[in-house]
């Protein structure tokens, strides 16, 4: 009986602060690790784009179809980077949650470490049921808006220029269409694909522009120059897994409750 009481004994304020400090360091390390992975993928995309351009124009035997594979590989890297960004965003949410509540309150000399503190409840819930804060499409759109729109535009411009000069410089629109042919497919199919892909890229960029301010890392507002006790965060600003029900592979079984049953 005494052992059960000792196991359920609440932590002291000093023990709680010590535990949070170590946990904060761990979350920062995880966030930085995923940030580095995102940067590595971006570097791969930039290097691949430069390599494709150099190889396509240095080898006269290569046709303009070579740029189709360049776009496909770059888009694959975008997909990988979008997946990594979702993990980074989820970890960054926790870091900012601790930043704006734990660290901020310590610096202001008043720290609410009670079990009923909203930030502790949000953090505990996110640890028990970890989930992405943005969808994969939104993550990819944010990366397109940041970097990939320029890489895709460079590859598309290179594709059009390759059509113009290969196998010989086009002196007329008809000759340009002949250069754009691929096997038995007319050059109009190539130009239609380029047009649709360009529209797709700009649609993603538009989604990325409007998606700024969303996600876990952006859902927590920075407090104004006043004490956090005077700032009440609406429930709608608390980052939730998006889309609903999509969680990390390591998510534990959900805790059944009357509220969950009602949902």
Kindly report the pTM of this predicted structure: 0.78
Could you tell me if residue 6 is inside a domain?
no
Could you tell me if residue 104 is inside a domain?
yes
Count of domains forming the chain: 1
Residue 30, pLDDT score: 93
Domain that holds residue 134: 12-262
Could you tell me if residue 181 is inside a domain?
yes
* Residue 185, beta-bridge partner list: 182
Q: Encode pLDDT of 73-128 as tens digits.
A: 999 999 999 999 999 999 999 999 888 888 888 888 777 777 778 888 888 888 89
Q: Encode pLDDT of 37-73 as tens digits.
A: 999 999 999 999 999 999 999 888 889 999 999 999 9
Could you tell me if residue 179 is inside a domain?
yes
- Mean pLDDT is lowest, of 13-17, 62-66, 186-190, for 13-17
Confidence band (pLDDT; 50, 70, 90) for 211? Answer: confident
Could you tell me if residue 4 is inside a domain?
no
Could you tell me if residue 130 is inside a domain?
yes
Confidence band (pLDDT; 50, 70, 90) for 218? Answer: low
Could you tell me if residue 162 is inside a domain?
yes
Confidence band (pLDDT; 50, 70, 90) for 243? Answer: very low
Could you tell me if residue 186 is inside a domain?
yes
Q: For all residues of the chain together, what is the average pLDDT?
A: 81
């Amino acid at each position: 009986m005494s052992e059960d009481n000792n196991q359920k004994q609440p932590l002291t304020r000093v023990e709680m602060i010590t535990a949070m400090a170590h946990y904060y360091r761990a979350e920062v390390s995880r966030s930085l690790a995923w940030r580095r992975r995102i940067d590595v993928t971006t570097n791969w995309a930039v290097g691949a784009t430069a390599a494709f351009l150099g190889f396509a124009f240095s080898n006269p035997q290569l046709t303009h179809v070579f740029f189709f594979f360049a776009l496909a590989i770059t888009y694959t890297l975008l997909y990988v980077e979008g997946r990594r960004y979702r993990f980074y965003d989820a970890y960054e949410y926790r870091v900012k949650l601790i930043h704006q509540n734990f660290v901020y309150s310590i610096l202001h000399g008043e720290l609410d470490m009670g079990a009923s503190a909203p930030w502790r409840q949000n953090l505990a819930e996110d640890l028990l049921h970890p989930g992405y804060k943005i969808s994969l499409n939104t993550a990819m759109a944010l990366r397109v808006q940041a970097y990939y729109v320029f890489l895709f535009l460079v590859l598309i411009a290179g594709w059009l220029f390759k059509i113009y000069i290969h196998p010989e410089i086009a002196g007329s629109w008809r000759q340009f269409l002949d250069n754009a042919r691929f096997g038995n497919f007319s050059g109009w199919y190539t130009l239609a694909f380029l047009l649709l892909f360009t529209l797709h890229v700009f649609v993603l960029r538009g989604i990325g522009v409007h998606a700024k301010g969303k996600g876990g890392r952006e859902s927590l507002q920075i407090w104004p120059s006043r004490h956090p006790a005077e700032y009440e965060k609406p429930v709608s600003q608390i980052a939730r897994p998006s889309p609903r029900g999509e969680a990390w592979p390591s998510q534990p079984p959900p805790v059944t409750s009357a509220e969950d049953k009602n949902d």
